[in-house]
Structure 1
Amino acid sequence: MHRFGSGDLGDMAGDALYAALVYLVFAFLLPRRARSLCAALAIIVCTVIEFLQLTDVPATLAELFPPAALVLGAHFDRRDLLVYAFAVVCAMLLDVVVSRALRRRAAQQP
C-alpha cells in the first residue's frame, strides 16, 4: 500500500516524488549549474529508467538485489512519463522560487 493512497492516485504520487527526488539529486550534485539542466537530466534519467522496464533488466536486478525494484520499477506505463516531467518541472520551479527568496533575504540582512 502506498502512503499517498492506493490505485492510480497513489501510483502517480509515488512517481512524482521519485522524479522530484531525482531532480533534487542533480540539483545537489550540480549546485552551480542552471536549474533547467538539472531538470533536463532528471527527466532523461526517469525516462531511461521507465523505458528500461520494457526489458528484463529490472526484474533480473530485483531478483539479485530486491531494493533495486524500488529504483528501477517493474512495469512500463507511458502515463509515468508525463508524471515525471510534470513533477520535475514543479520541483525546478519551487527550487528557483525558494532560492531567489533566500538570496533576497540574505541580501537584506545587515
Structure 2
Amino acid sequence: MFDGPVSKYAGDALYTVLIYTLVVLILPRTRPWVAAVLAAGASWVIEFAQLGEIPALLRPILGSTFNPPDLFWYAAGAGVACAAHTFWLRRAG
C-alpha cells in the first residue's frame, strides 16, 4: 500500500521535517530560514555520507545507498517546514 516513489520521497521530506523540528526544539529562538538551512544541510551531509561506508548499526537510521533525487526532497521538506513555521509565528505574534 505504501510502496512507490510518492511514499519514498514523502519519507525523505518528512525526515528533514523531523530534523527541522529537532533544531527548533534545541534552539527555540532560531529563525525559520536558519532552521531550514541546518535541517537540509544535515540531511545532505547524511546523504553524502552514504557514498562511503555506513556502519551496519546506523544503516536503519541513516540509510546506506546514495540517491541524488533525495537531495531535492530534503530541500523541499525544509522549505515546507520553514513556510509552516513562518506562518505559525506570524499568526501567533
> Which TM-score applies when normalising by structure 1?
0.78
Please report how far the alpha carbon of residue 71 of structure 1 lies from its aligned counterpart in structure 2 after TM superposition.
2.3
| Matching of residues 91-110 of structure 1 within 5 Å | 91-103=81-93
Q: Give the number of equivalent residue pairs.
A: 93
Amino acid in the other structure paired with 1:52: A
Corresponding residue of 2:16: 19
Amino acid in the other structure paired with 1:17: L
Runs of 4+ displaced beyond 6 Å: none
Name the one with the larger helix percent.
1
Counterpart Cα distance in 1 of 2:26 and 2:61: 18
Corresponding residue of 1:31: 28
Q: Percent identity?
A: 33
Deviations 1:20-74 (A, max 9, x none): 1011111111111211111111111000000000101x2xx22xx3xx2232111
Deviations 1:54-105 (A, max 9, x none): 101x2xx22xx3xx223211110010000000110100110111122122xx
Does 2:48 align with 1:51? yes
Corresponding residue of 2:77: 87
Counterpart Cα distance in 1 of 2:47 and 2:81: 19
Partner-residue secondary structure (3-state), 2:29: coil
Amino acid in the other structure paired with 1:38: A
Counterpart Cα distance in 2 of 1:44 and 1:21: 13
Counterpart Cα distance in 2 of 1:78 and 1:89: 18
Counterpart Cα distance in 2 of 1:21 and 1:73: 15
Structure 1 unaligned runs (5+)? 104-110
Which protein has the larger Cα radius of gyration, Structure 1 or Structure 2? 1
Identify the structure with bigger relative contact order (alpha carbons < 8 Å, sequence gap 6+): 2
> Which TM-score applies when normalising by structure 2?
0.91
